[in-house]
Amino acid sequence: MSKKLYIKTLGCAMNVRDSEHIIAELNKREPYKLTSEISEADLIIINTCSVREKPVSKLFSEIGVFRKYKKDNAKIGVTGCTASHLGEEIIKKAPIVDFVLGARNVSKLSKVIDRRHSVEVDLDYDDSNYSFGEYRSNRYKAMVNISMGCDKSCTYCIVPATRGKEVSIPPNLIVQEVRRAVEGGAKEVILLGQNVNNYGKYFSATGERLNFTGLLRKISLINGLERIRFASPHPLHMDDEFLEEFAFNPKICKQIHIPLQSGSTKVLRDMKRGYTKEWFLNRCAKVKELSPEVSISTDIIVGFPNESDEDFADTLDVLEQVRFNQLFSFKYSPRPHTKAATYPNQIPDEVASERLKILQNRHKEILDEIMSSQVGKVYSVYFDELKSGGKISGRSDDGKLFFVNGSEELLGEIKDVKVTKSARWALEGEVIN
Ligand code: SAH
Ligand code: SF4
Ligand code: F3S
């Protein structure tokens, strides 16, 4: 009988992909079956995120839950970003944990799995040339890492301290992986990195060197691949060459995440983002000019130290001008290993909460305006997930989520769908051909 694995993944798409790599590496040793029951598992893994404060305290309460429900001989592993920055402390605080494996150390899984209390969290470890085993939770859309780590030093962000320096994965390895995914049934890939459009600045191996635009061109030559998405580009590196490739390469989906963080040039400077409000607006205007059908999503932090009412008004102004199709918004959370945590003038929680509410409410209104004008429109939808109740879901080229009545035969297919009903976050429709 094969062993059972319970794996819980927190955080961003890179962590989701790391979890797939963990499963693939385990399966290289012996087959594991996934379970959603802690009490059935032989191995329990929590793949952590530390980008905001809550996930860290959540980790120790999760470990408490594992302790309560786990089988006697089941092992517990802590992986991911919190593993990277807390390291050994996790075992000191919770000796029930068997191993700690940091983000960017995933390829060392077999080193830690049989050695009780082993800790591998080397921030300089470089597995950019390592070929992971193949495991995908959804064979129709494939996540593919193109770089690891982050070379920026945004003053609020812990990621450089959990994922280390930026290294690009060689183009031939990326192409190989995309080809394999396409052979396995994927028509869509999502290229992942903390700053995808900084791709190519540093490779640790010799060989072909490309920048992000070059990589996009190369990947789009792969037969059978129909759609390319990526997350996230950095506003600073959005040069015209890249925006033109984005607009005119038909395989690149017209959906782009452009993380704003703040609309105030003063706050952006304090965050060390490297661009101004005007530059951000200029890049969004250029994207819209070249690709009028584009959907733009963003990340915004409110309540950054010293953020005044005027600064927040600048953020609202950018929201008004760009009219984002999706917004991920957060209250600033002071993190260890970050400069901003030591800044004076931290903003009281009530003020940050109020700003978050105002921002989210205005975004919802904008979204309702955008979505209520959708009925009757036709989109090309790629179906990638079966849902309950005879429904199947998919996404349009510009990233809108669709639900239609349908079954398995639509999976992996791209069809024209007419919108019959709209809601704030998703559309219903019928396949017309
Ligand atoms: N590399 C990506 C961001 C990864 S972190 C980029 O540069 O866009 C994902 C998001 O979490 C960030 O965009 C930011 O909005 C948010 N975030 C990061 N650190 C944070 C903090 N200390 N408090 C609140 N939100 C934070
Ligand atoms: Fe964090 Fe900035 Fe790097 Fe994004 S670019 S991961 S926000 S340091
Ligand atoms: Fe991702 Fe969270 Fe790490 S957002 S990079 S898993 S801190």
Assigned fold of 3-120: Rossmann fold (3.40.50)
Q: How far apart are the first and last CA of the chain?
A: 45
Q: Which of 417, 410, 409 is nearest to 433 (CA)?
A: 417
Which residues form the pocket of ligand 3, taking CB atoms under 6 Å from any ligand atom? Answer: 11-12, 14-15, 49-51, 80-81, 159, 162-163
Contact 85, 104 (CB under 8 A): no
How far from 214 is each of 171, 201, 258, CA to CA, in Å? 10, 12, 20
For the chain, domain boundaries: 3-120, 136-253, 263-275+282-372, 378-431
- How many angstroms does the Cα of residue 19 sit away from the middle of ligand 3? 12
332 ligand 1 Cβ < 6 A:
yes
By alpha-carbon position, which residue is closest to atom 5 of ligand 1? 51
Query: Are 136-253 and 263-275+282-372 in the same CATH fold?
Result: yes
Atom of ligand 3 nearest to the CA of 51: 7
- 133 three-class SS: coil
By alpha-carbon position, which residue is closest to atom 2 of ligand 3? 49
235 ligand 1 Cβ < 6 A:
no
How far from 383 is each of 20, 181, 224, 295, CA to CA, in Å? 21, 16, 16, 19
- How many angstroms does the Cα of residue 47 sit away from the middle of ligand 3? 10
By alpha-carbon position, which residue is closest to atom 12 of ligand 1? 299
- The pLDDT value recorded for residue 58 is 84
Q: Which ligand is nearest to the CA of 162?
A: 3
52 ligand 1 Cβ < 6 A:
yes
Atom of ligand 3 nearest to the CA of 163: 5
Q: Which ligand is nearest to the CA of 335?
A: 1
d(CA 398, CA 431): 17
- The pLDDT value recorded for residue 401 is 97
Assigned fold of 263-275+282-372: Transcription Regulator spoIIAA (3.30.750)
Neighbours of 417 (CB within 10 A): 26
By alpha-carbon position, which residue is closest to atom 1 of ligand 3? 12
- The pLDDT value recorded for residue 433 is 80
- The pLDDT value recorded for residue 341 is 96
Atom of ligand 3 nearest to the CA of 13: 1
By alpha-carbon position, which residue is closest to atom 13 of ligand 1? 299
- The pLDDT value recorded for residue 325 is 97
* Spans of the chain below 50 pLDDT: none
* Ligand 3 probe mutation, 54, 159, 165, most atoms within 8 A of CB: 159
d(CA 24, CA 18): 10
- How many angstroms does the Cα of residue 150 sit away from the middle of ligand 2? 6
- The listed CATH number (3.30.465.10, 3.30.750.210, 3.40.47.10, 3.40.605.10) that belongs to domain 136-253: 3.30.750.210
Architecture of the CATH domain 378-431: Beta Barrel (2.40)
Atom of ligand 3 nearest to the CA of 158: 7
Residue 72: DSSP 8-state:
T
Atom of ligand 1 nearest to the CA of 261: 15
